[in-house]
Structure 1
């Protein structure tokens, strides 16, 4: 079944399921990887420190950082080793709900979150910002970070590149832990690449003891090198996705049986009066607080066909 799913998604013009970058990596990048593949599969990659320095340059991050095998690796290690009770906004990426946690609605007010932190005596607050699957971007997180310096704030910023043409500043503080998947923005989900970063160097030094000495392979490292050489092309693709998503949202708003939620990501959540099963779109029936009437539409460069698909 999974093999059939992957085959169906590949090169599908009606794929609104997976959140990918349809404009990146460029053909030049893929051709170079193909050319170097034999060498890459034969030899070891660099060590974690070397690779992480490359990712810091790629992402313009100046605080201590570790490269991980997709954001899921970092989330699991964090929740299983450094968290006893977390406050988690829901719905969310499901991995954030594997630990002992207190759920709170993703659109809770600042006061509601503040009260929940105090009432439940949590040690960690987890945000996905922008939220997945709703697309909501919160601008009050830094305020909460400053108010609760003794609480860890774990923030998944995997979709922050798509908030606006100007990427918002990352939250700051020694109590902040940033986790980012690099698959969605760079269009390389199959490679499994992400990072965890924090001003708390002691935390990062301890975290590195929880991951294998080689958790990133040679192909991934070579791709990072190529991404560093093609940052301008990535930036162009990022802007195209932001502008294209806005147009896709406007189109969806013309469908009479669909309610469209505001979004600051490369996807949009809707509530539909009709079941949508005849093309590839993500049902949110496995998300806390949602049911099968909610769907997440990932940006697709062929979004104009939605007018016909949803008639």
Structure 2
């Protein structure tokens, strides 16, 4: 526990639907005193050797223009995700591609909630979204049969699935996803976000190998999450639909990714074994963290197929109250999920930061749940 409370710029939490960055809320001089369990990452990749290689290349890279031929970067990426290069489009983060897909291809989209807020916000402003509330009593698990029936009843031609879910972490098997896609072939577009799928099993249960079988399928993935490089702003989509590809290409600017990101892509093939060893290490860490969290009284811990875990607070404080105390008193930053549509104010999300740091989180949550907050009135149902 930290003796002197950490000072926080609390107003920043009200100015965005996304979590404010740690450096903004505590200041650069306090970064070494806080562990960011809010930010979802792969803590083991890129490794030190690759980081040193990127550092050495930096003076050349920042003085160069990116390539004007996107197929070169697509080939680098295709070599590790096992897709056809012409089926891939690389974006300045997945959010660039999400925005383009929604603007260019979506008339009205069905979206299960809770979900990643970026999918809702822009569509809500244009009135192009219908929300499908996931049941709290079933830990917000998406039942694909119920979802398919709802989509058909609502006469929607576009649907979103995030697998594993964000912020829920709930995972849908490849077998069930393929059955859903087969049933919904009549729809115009099924958008599947697989940003966390690499943490769902030793063998990655992605739809990418099946993309040619479904002309209405677009897969979106954020490399910030599974590669741990959010600052490079890399994401990609994969589809066999030539009309979709052409419409997205026509909107992308010629130099939409920078030279540092391009250089990183050229290193993926040579570090592929290192990457898979890293993601499997994350999977093991998350399993251990999940088991440890389940031993703490006062929380409902949701099953996860990702590198983060959703918890419901059962003993009194709101997610915001708990977030602030963890941050100020323990130097632990977690995600308050109160502003996620479809969730109440008693959910937090935590990501794994490696076993040593995860112990700090477990210790802090256990202390607060067994001592301080037991004195507070219990939350009303």
- TM tier, smaller: over 0.9
1:111/1:227 CA distance change after superposition, 3 Å: closer
The SS at the match of 2:62 is helix
Match of 1:145 in 2: 181
Match of 1:247 in 2: 288
Query: What is the number of equivalent residue pairs in this alignment?
Result: 311
Q: Post-superposition shift, 1:13?
A: 6.0
Shift of 1:105: 3.0
Deviation for aligned residue 1:286:
1.1
In structure 1, distance between residues paired with 2:76 and 2:246 = 18
Cα deviation code 1:230-268 (max 9, x no counterpart): 111111110010010000001111110111011100000
* Counterpart in the other structure of 1:119: 153
Which has the higher mean CA deviation after the structures are superposed, 198-207 or 244-253?
198-207
Aligned residue in 1 for 2:268: 227
RMSD of the alignment, in Å? 1.8
* Aligned twin of 1:309: 364
Could you say which residue in structure 2 is the equivalent of 1:294?
Answer: 347
The equivalent of 1:44 in structure 2 is 65
Which has the larger helix fraction?
2
Per the TM alignment, residue 43 of structure 1 is displaced from its structure 2 partner at its CA by 1.1
State the shift of 1:203 in Å: 1.5
In 2, distance between residues paired with 1:13 and 1:20?
16
> What pairs with 1:153-192 in structure 2 (closer than 5 Å)?
153-170=190-207, 172=211, 173-192=214-233
TM-score by length of 2: 0.78
CA distance, structure 2, for counterparts of residue 287 and residue 9 of structure 1: 28
Change over 3 Å in CA distance of 1:75–1:12 after alignment to 2: farther
- C-alpha distance in 2, partners of 1:9/1:282? 19
**2:87 alignment partner in structure 1:** 64
Offset at 1:39? 0.9
- Is the 1:9–1:15 contact (alpha carbons within 8 Å) kept by the matching residues of 2? no
5+ residue gaps, structure 2: 1-8, 10-20, 135-140, 327-331, 368-381
Q: Which has the larger Rg?
A: 2
Task: Report if the CA contact (8 A) 2:109-2:156 is conserved.
Answer: yes
Partner of 1:34: 55
- 2:144 corresponds in structure 1 to 110
Structure 1 unaligned regions, length at least 5: none
Q: Structure 1 length normalisation: TM-score?
A: 0.95
Q: Relative to structure 2, which stretch is displaced further, 53-62 or 235-244? A: 53-62
Separation in 2, partners of 1:50, 1:94: 32
Q: Which of 333, 336, 349 is equivalent to 1:280?
A: 333
- Equivalent residues of 2:93, 2:234 under 8 A apart: yes
CA offsets 1:103-126 (integer angstroms, 9 cap, x no match):
113434233212211111111110
Structure 1 residues 294 and 225: CA distance shift in structure 2, 3 A? same
